[in-house]
Amino acid sequence: MIAAIVLVLLQFADWWTTRTILKQGGRELNPIARAGMRLLGVDGYLGVKTAWVALLSWFALQIGTAGLIVLGVGCALYLAVVIHNWRGM
């Protein structure tokens, strides 16, 4: 459960750091995210992504150990994203 909460909190940290970088004139490096932002707007895309991660986290909790491993990997990846964004601010 804690891993799912941490992963969702990391989504909000990614949201905040991404918005900050974009406001400072930076650009989104992930081509999929960039396309999503063009389609839905920055907040729309990041909101939809956060909601999907929350839903997928809930499903991961339902499948036991494998789901916890997936959540742990997701936390590690998004921690790296947030650190990268933080350094770019």
CA distances 59 to 31, 53, 67, 72, Å, are: 26, 10, 8, 14
Residue in the block written with tokens 């992930």 = 30
The pLDDT of residue 1 is: 84
Q: What is the pLDDT of residues 40-49, one digit of tens each?
A: 999 999 999 9
The pLDDT of residue 43 is: 92
The pLDDT of residue 11 is: 93
Question: What count of other Cβ atoms lies within 10 Å of the Cβ of residue 82?
Answer: 20
Segments making up each domain of the chain, as ranges? 2-88
User: Is pTM, for the whole model, over 0.75?
Assistant: yes
The pLDDT of residue 56 is: 93
Contact 78, 14 (CB under 8 A): yes
| Residue partners of 21: CB distance under 8 A and separation at least 6 | 85, 88, 89
All residue ranges of the chain with pLDDT < 50 are: none
Residue length, the chain?
Answer: 89
